[in-house]
Each structure stands twice: as structure tokens, then as C-alpha cells.
Amino acid sequence: MNKQPSLFGGAMIIAGTVIGAGMLANPTATSGIWFAGSLLVLLYTWFSMLTSGLMILEANTHYPHGANFDTMVKDLLGRPWNIVNGLSVAFVLYLLTYAYITAGGGLTAGALGGLLPAPSPDGAPLWMGQLLFALVFAGCVWWSARLVDRFTSILIGGLVLSFIWATGGLIGSAKLPVLLDSAAPADTSYWIFVGAALPVCLASFGFHGNVSSLLKYFRGDARKVSRALWGGTLIALVVYALWQLAVQGNLPRSAFGPVIAAEGKVGVLIAELSKFTATGSMAQILAFFSYTAIASSFLGVTLGLFDYITDLFGFDDSRAGRSKAALITFLPPLLFSLRWPGGFVTVIAYVGLVATVWTALTPAALLYAARKKFGTGRGYSVYGGYGMMLWVLLFGLANIAAMVLGMMGKLPVFAG
């Protein structure tokens, strides 16, 4: 008898996808609006992104297990929008896969240095780390969603332990006057910097490529998928809030200038924090945290891409079908990573802008079209009705406006 997939495992897949190493930049990106503002923006973004994911879930219940964006969008919104949506899904997920192979491969190569026949303090060659990282974790996705569930649960366990270890002392030493920015002049502006914070927070809650994968994994049990989405994203929200508390409760807003100038680099952040509180071995622990975050995000992102490719090309769930999907999923980003390991930096700025298409605009439109065609979901309906569809649509448009204005240099930018 086949064992039922666990709700805990599903939540871990979502939490692992959402919590990436990029979260380390959140305190810097939200330093303009500071602690209270950052919590409000994170809460607003979490609720909006969770709701849009649940909209995809309801629309998905009207289609066979395994149906993904390609099937739903083509049927409900037409071929032209399906092309736009498909290109945006492929762009974001392939680019993230490429970036994770590069970053995870670099960390793996560094760890392999001491295991070589002639140990190297500089680590093994980058290509060796990239290949090992990609083969091990891609193999998990190729094998089954259940193995992704197991690996992600282990990685999230390591992530949470390393996070608590790294930030426990900082959370304990957080000071209320620093959190409230009590030393700031009375006319200090905060909310004028919200536009710069919104896109970063949106990128911190991306899991939408996994909704169809989870519905297939849970054999059509939409309510279980819904609980997994709630649980996984809430775990991420708590981790983000604690990280904001740890950093913005110790490093004053007025002292963020060097960190902002260094674009949020963790080494600079820790160096500035050490001027105000003891940081101990935080750098080494956060390196381990980054690895577990990158690996768990890689598993979640590529599971979504793998299932999207399977639906797009109509592959079956046999080993042959899964092998074809795996080659299309993993080979292009691996080859690009081996050939151009730093190339993603030139296009990574566009990930948030393009992701908004299929994490906000498409979900609202899908649910509207699905309810017109089918009525409410089969045993599952997302809350809120047309008002919530409008909420998610406006959330997406607000983020697009913020990103476009930011690229044009028209947004106020906090410099510390």
C-alpha cells in the first residue's frame, strides 16, 4: 500500500523554495522603511503571494493531475497570453536554476578542497563543484517528488538550526530604541522608500511553480495543498521577521550606509554589526545557512520547472518520460553555468519584474476565467471573491510600477 504524502513534507517543499540565500539582503533592502515598515511590507507581500498561489490551486482543480501552467493558461486565457506566461515562467525558473547551480557549485567546490588527493585551501575547481551539486540534487528531482520532500525536510532542519545558531545572540541583544529608530530626527521619512522594498519582498515569497507539483504529489487533495502553502509560507515569514529583528535591532538605521554601498554583502553587514554587538562565528554559520538555503531552493524551483516541462511537452511519468524532462530542465542551465558562471548577474535584476507576470497577474486572471467557465473549485475555493482577485492584480501592478520606476532611477533610494 502506497504511503500518503505528508503535509509536513509538502510544507517543507514550499518553505525550502521560498527561503533562499537572497533573504540575507532583506534588512538592507528594507532599511529605508525600517523595522515596523519592513514587517508591514513583508506581511502584505506574504498575504498577496499566498493568495495568488491559492488562486492557481483553485484553477488547477479543474484539470487532470499533472496539469500545469501551460494547460491551464492555454485553455482559460488563450494562446497569446500562454506564450507570454510560458516565456516568463521559463525565464525565471531557468535563470534561478542557473544561479543556484553557480552559487551552490561554488560553495561545494570550496568544501571539496580538503578532500582532494592534493588538498587545496582555495577549494576544488568550480566546474567540479557545479557538476556535483547539479547531479546530486537534480537526481532527487528526477527520482520523485517524495525524495525532494525528504531531502528538503533535512535541509530545512539544517537551515533552521544554523539560523537559530547564527542569530540567537543577535535576537537576544536587539534593542527597542534601535528598532524604533528613536535617535532619528522628528521629520525623518520612511514610507517614501517603500517602492525600493516591495520588489525584494516579492522575490522572497516565490513558490508558485510548485502549486501544480504539490497537487499532483497529494493526488488531487487541494485542501492538503492549501494547508502546505499556508504552513510553508508562514515558516518563511517567521524566519524573515526574526532576521529583520536580529539585524535591525542591533545595527542602527543611520549606520547602514556602508552595507548599502556594498549592496548588502554579508561580510560587510557582519563587520558593521560587530561594531555594535558580538557576532562571534556568525560568518561561518551563515555560510552553512546559505548552502542549505540554496540547495533547498534549488530542489523546490527545479521541481516546479520539471513539472512545467513535463506538462508542456506531454511527457508521461515513466522513467523514460522523467529522463527527457530532466534533460530539458537541467542540461541548459548546467551548461550555461559551466560556460558563463557569472553571466546571470546581468539579467538577475529582471527576475522580479518577469516573475510578477505569473505570480500575480496570471493567477488573478486564471481564477476569474476559471470561475466563469467552471464555477467554484471542486471541493476547494479560495477566499475573497472578485475583491481578492482585484487585490492580487493591484499588488502585481504596484510591484511592476516600483520595478520600472526603479530601473528608470525615479524612486527615492535610502543611502544610510
The pLDDT assigned to 361 comes to: 96
Q: Residue 30 — left, alpha, or beta (φ > 0 → left; ψ -120 to 50 → alpha)?
A: alpha
- First and final C-alpha spacing in the chain: 60
Q: Tell me what percent of the residues of the chain surpass a pLDDT of 70.
A: 94
Residue of 68, 57, 19, 22 whose CA lies nearest to 305: 68
Whole-number Å distance between alpha carbons of 303 and 310: 10
Q: Which residues contact 400 (CB under 8 A, 6 or more apart)?
A: 353, 356
Torsion 368-358-6-65 (CA) sign: positive
Q: How far is CA 371 from CA 77, 227, 385, in A?
A: 12, 22, 10
Range with lowest mean pLDDT among 65-69, 93-97, 207-211, 340-344: 340-344
Whole-number Å distance between alpha carbons of 302 and 327: 12
Question: What type of residue is 377?
Answer: G
The pLDDT assigned to 343 comes to: 63
Confidence of residue 231 (pLDDT cuts 50, 70, 90): very high
Confidence of residue 345 (pLDDT cuts 50, 70, 90): low
Range with lowest mean pLDDT among 7-21, 170-184, 218-232, 324-338: 7-21
Q: Which residues contact 219 (CB under 8 A, 6 or more apart)?
A: 5, 65
Question: What type of residue is 11?
Answer: A
Q: Which residues contact 205 (CB under 8 A, 6 or more apart)?
A: 18, 45, 46, 49, 50, 233, 236
Confidence of residue 1 (pLDDT cuts 50, 70, 90): very low
The pLDDT assigned to 49 comes to: 97
Q: How far is CA 75 from CA 80, 166, 357, 389, in A?
A: 11, 48, 17, 19
Give residue-wise pLDDT tens across range 144-160: 888 887 888 888 888 88
166-187 burial, b for 16+ CB within 10 Å, e for fewer? bbeebeeebeeebbebeeeeee
Whole-number Å distance between alpha carbons of 97 and 305: 9
Give residue-wise pLDDT tens across range 115-146: 655 545 556 788 888 899 989 988 989 988 88
Question: What type of residue is 340?
Answer: W
The pLDDT assigned to 115 comes to: 61
pLDDT over 90 at 234, yes or no? yes
By three-state DSSP, how is residue 53 classified? helix
Q: Which residues contact 273 (CB under 8 A, 6 or more apart)?
A: 170, 247, 250, 251, 279, 282
pLDDT over 70 at 263, yes or no? yes
